[in-house]
Structure 1
């Protein structure tokens, strides 16, 4: 299988090397390694260079952090252009739903238009480079992301760990956007309901590691091998055998990313 979304650069070096070396014997053929900012992109590239074929890097700026200064953003964009041949996608990019909600709870001001402008610039870069995008955009933010995707004529969009209202789900399905499920599909009703609704041909499996999970994963370090359990749980919702579920999710990931 393929882990369609993982933050490899956030694992400690010793644990990372051991984990990556063991993946082939654990039925994991490759990983889509997303990035957070310029330093993260550089580390992701270094990991991919050490594990060619296994690690497929994506470069971007994660929205759940303070806005970059203009010179910082310019340096990131220039670096991405220089290394576009190495990357599989622009990502992780999107809108800061969780940071914004926390700021509003504290009564703090939030510059939503600036984050939308940042996403617009990153999507423009993806369009110019003809690369797919990996999106962090949930609930009401997903509708805004869809607007921007359509403005840039981007059709290859992967909304990772997506959650959102029915009308947004319908819009995403009509546009052929992909989503991916994490290990929380084993214990979150909201995610299971979405999994039943979303077309099987537009679905992938991810871990978003090293993000920790609950339920049967409580206390376990998030590992790419968990996508096998994601596949089994997703397949059960659709009446697929475990082997067939793995085949479908893997084929979808290969098709979307051109692996």
Structure 2
């Protein structure tokens, strides 16, 4: 494998999925977390909501740290589908207070939403109805979807087909599916995002799949505070650690870190409409 010099330029990175909310999920001083991310070259971060309250906090945090390139996604995680009466099997749609949050200019996506059959914290039928409601909201608003899937890609694909999710766009975050799953989502026009598990020794198959993907459909993330990459596996994750995911990803695809960073930055800017910091940096050289 070619040995790339990672010190020839400072890469401009994007963490396309994280959960950094002060006082929650193991984080104390959010300012310190975002400062470390900025020092590591992270110029864009997407904070994903999981409930109405955490979505509101994500928006407030993105507004507070706008100068550091922080943006938000608002939605109800499948774990929490049962906690929101209007995102339930009764099919009443998206809660009004959640929809109102999308008016903020810092909101660039809907989510995270989807299905999680590993924990089943919410009944599966409620997860499905919440997921359908989010797809419809994405179609109506024009904002891209951030989709969570765990042991559930079969039903996610079925709902995609039934709801016409290919008429909107988005990302399957922390992708862990098969080649067939990946082919479906690519055909539907979605990006696939990869997190810390790409660095885990046992995930050779995931790295093989990542290597085969078209460059214009790949994103990278931390999903912090979870899924910290090697060598921090098992510890609290944070956006600064996304550089380790990029380093593994660059080695897997046999490209330089800087070239991969430019590719991911362009993909994220195209999907989320938040401007490409790599272009701005290069224009200023």
TM-score (norm 1): 0.87
Name whichever structure is richer in helix by fraction. Answer: 1
User: Pick from 155, 163, 166: which aligns with 1:144?
Assistant: 155
Which residue number corresponds to residue 117 of structure 1? 129
Give how far 1:236 is off: 1.2
Q: How do 1:125-140 residues align onto structure 2 when only pairs under 5 Å count?
A: 125-139=137-151
Residue 178 (structure 1) aligned with residue 196 (structure 2): no
| 120-129 vs 144-153, which moves further | 144-153
Unaligned runs of 5+ in 1: 104-109
Residue 221 (structure 1) aligned with residue 233 (structure 2): no
RMSD across aligned C-alpha pairs, in angstroms?
A: 2.3
Give how far 1:175 is off: 1.9
Give how far 1:31 is off: 0.5
CA distance in 2, matches of 1:157, 1:190: 24
Give how far 1:66 is off: 5.7
Which residue number corresponds to residue 169 of structure 1? 182
Residue 93 (structure 1) aligned with residue 105 (structure 2): no
CA distance in 2, matches of 1:168, 1:13: 34
Which residue number corresponds to residue 48 of structure 2? 34
Indicate if the aligned counterparts of 1:160 and 1:180 stay in contact, CA closer than 8 A: yes
**Deviation by residue 1:234-254 (Cα, 9 ceiling, x = unmatched):** 111121011111111111111
Q: How do 1:188-199 residues align onto structure 2 when only pairs under 5 Å count?
A: 188-199=203-214
User: Pick from 14, 17, 23: which aligns with 1:5?
Assistant: 17
Unaligned runs of 5+ in 2: 1-12, 275-285
Give how far 1:176 is off: 2.3
User: Pick from 75, 80, 95: which aligns with 1:77?
Assistant: 95
Give the 3 Å change call, closer, same or farther, for CA 122–232 of structure 1 in structure 2: same
| 172-181 vs 212-221, which moves further | 212-221
Which residue number corresponds to residue 38 of structure 2? 24
Indicate if the aligned counterparts of 2:142 and 2:168 stay in contact, CA closer than 8 A: no
Which residue number corresponds to residue 9 of structure 2? none
Which residue number corresponds to residue 107 of structure 1? none
Give how far 1:228 is off: 1.5
User: How many residues are matched?
Assistant: 250
Give the 3 Å change call, closer, same or farther, for CA 238–117 of structure 1 in structure 2: same
Give the 3 Å change call, closer, same or farther, for CA 39–61 of structure 1 in structure 2: same
Indicate if the aligned counterparts of 1:149 and 1:155 stay in contact, CA closer than 8 A: no
CA distance in 2, matches of 1:38, 1:57: 13
Give the 3 Å change call, closer, same or farther, for CA 11–17 of structure 1 in structure 2: farther
